[in-house]
């Protein structure tokens, strides 16, 4: 198939854009990424694994391929003694993304992330450093022809502002999302205000990703939707965060923290992610997706909840055909019908 000509803005004008993230966590579960560093060396070591996961997300309805360049800057690459491979990894990740996107007529997003380099006490020095990190990655993304760039999992408003300035300097549309560990950025700006400022400065989409699960992200999204005029992003982690433990870093089992290796008992069901997608759409959220913990079955459920028929919908659940469960109406059968309405 030929590559789709319309860009992100045109897609947003037509309806909700569905974006599958969560590559790093899912590839770690599959044995290709080291928990801790979370540097995506898999791009160079097992490119076929990245391509396969990308294909699965697309089959299940993602409108976007996010190039796996999260934590792929020289600073993070140096932590695994691979800084000399930074450019090679970034460009290969984008090539993989573009190849799969061409098959499915999907958008391609470049990706930059939190750097852990911002220091409010050394603002000028750290700003210069971060600008260099972002400029390098965005320049490669621009060179290889991405449709837009995502700056995600940001904690500081100041860092988000740097990311937006760099993306704009390369003439690319920007999606800027904060990781909402609390209701404010690390530098004290209420998240709805931070999003509004970035929107006013030219970000095409602003919002939240990571940290909070479906239930605890929604109240913040309501504030952002009331404050901002344009397109909003909502990409929760696929974990059951709650009123007591608002983000995945705080989740506990037997009073012990479980992040990041013991999160399995808290994985959200496909039904919970589908309900989130429907609620987000009703709220007027235009850019919906899933972050850490998300898997292809979550994406398909969300896509179908948004009224999309995916290539993988051919194999959507049909428990009426089950030799035992098909004889009676189960709760899963009711929920499956509900999300498809």
Q: Is the separation of the CB atoms in 86 and 323 below 8 Å?
A: no
328 assigned to some structural domain: no
The rounded distance, in Å, linking the Cα atoms of 196 and 225 is 10
User: Which residue in 262, 161, 280, 259 sits closest to 209, CA to CA?
Assistant: 280
- The count of domains in the chain is 1
Instruction: Tell me how many degrees the CA angle 161-136-112 measures, rounded to the nearest 5.
Output: 50
Q: Which two tokens stand for residue 79?
A: 């932590």
337 assigned to some structural domain: no
67 assigned to some structural domain: yes
341 assigned to some structural domain: no
Domain ranges, residue 294:
8-310
Domain harbouring 46, CATH code:
3.20.20.330
Q: Is the separation of the CB atoms in 207 and 181 below 8 Å?
A: no
**Could you report the average pLDDT of every consecutive run of 10 residues in the chain (341 residues)?**
68 97 98 98 98 98 98 96 97 98 97 96 96 98 98 98 98 98 97 98 98 98 98 98 96 96 97 97 98 98 97 92 78 65 60
Check residue 32 and give its pLDDT: 98
Q: Classify 196 as helix, strand or coil.
A: helix
3 assigned to some structural domain: no
Check residue 1 and give its pLDDT: 34
235 assigned to some structural domain: yes
320 assigned to some structural domain: no
Check residue 4 and give its pLDDT: 44
């Amino acid at each position: 198939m030929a590559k789709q000509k319309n860009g992100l803005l045109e897609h947003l004008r037509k309806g909700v854009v569905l974006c599958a993230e969560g590559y790093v966590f899912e590839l770690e579960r599959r044995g290709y990424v080291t928990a801790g560093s979370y540097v995506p060396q898999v791009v160079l070591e097992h490119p076929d694994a990245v391509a396969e996961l990308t294909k699965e997300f697309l089959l299940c309805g993602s409108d976007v391929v996010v190039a796996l360049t999260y934590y792929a800057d020289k600073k993070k690459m140096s932590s695994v003694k691979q800084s000399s491979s930074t450019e090679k990894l970034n460009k290969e990740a984008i090539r993989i993304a573009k190849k799969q996107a061409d098959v499915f007529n999907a958008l391609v997003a470049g990706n930059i992330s939190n750097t852990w380099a911002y220091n409010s006490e050394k603002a000028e020095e750290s700003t210069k450093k971060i600008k260099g990190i972002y400029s390098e990655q965005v320049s490669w993304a621009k060179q290889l022809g991405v449709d837009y760039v995502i700056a995600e999992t940001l904690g500081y408003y100041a860092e988000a502002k740097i990311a937006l300035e760099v993306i704009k300097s390369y003439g690319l549309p920007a999606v800027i999302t904060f990781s909402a560990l609390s209701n404010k950025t690390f530098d004290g700006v209420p998240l709805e205000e931070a999003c509004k400022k970035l929107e006013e400065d030219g970000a095409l989409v602003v919002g939240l990703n990571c940290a909070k699960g479906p239930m605890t992200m929604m109240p913040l999204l309501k504030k952002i939707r009331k404050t901002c005029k344009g397109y909003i992003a909502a990409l929760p982690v696929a974990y059951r965060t709650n009123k007591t433990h608002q983000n995945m870093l705080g989740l506990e089992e037997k009073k012990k923290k479980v992040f990041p290796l013991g999160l399995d008992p808290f994985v959200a069901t496909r039904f919970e992610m589908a309900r989130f997608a429907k609620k987000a759409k009703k709220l007027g959220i235009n850019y919906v997706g899933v972050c850490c913990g998300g898997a292809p079955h979550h994406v398909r459920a969300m896509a179908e909840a948004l009224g999309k028929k995916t290539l993988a919908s051919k194999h959507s659940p049909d428990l009426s055909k089950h030799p035992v469960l098909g004889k009676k109406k189960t709760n899963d059968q009711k929920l499956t019908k509900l999300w498809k309405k």
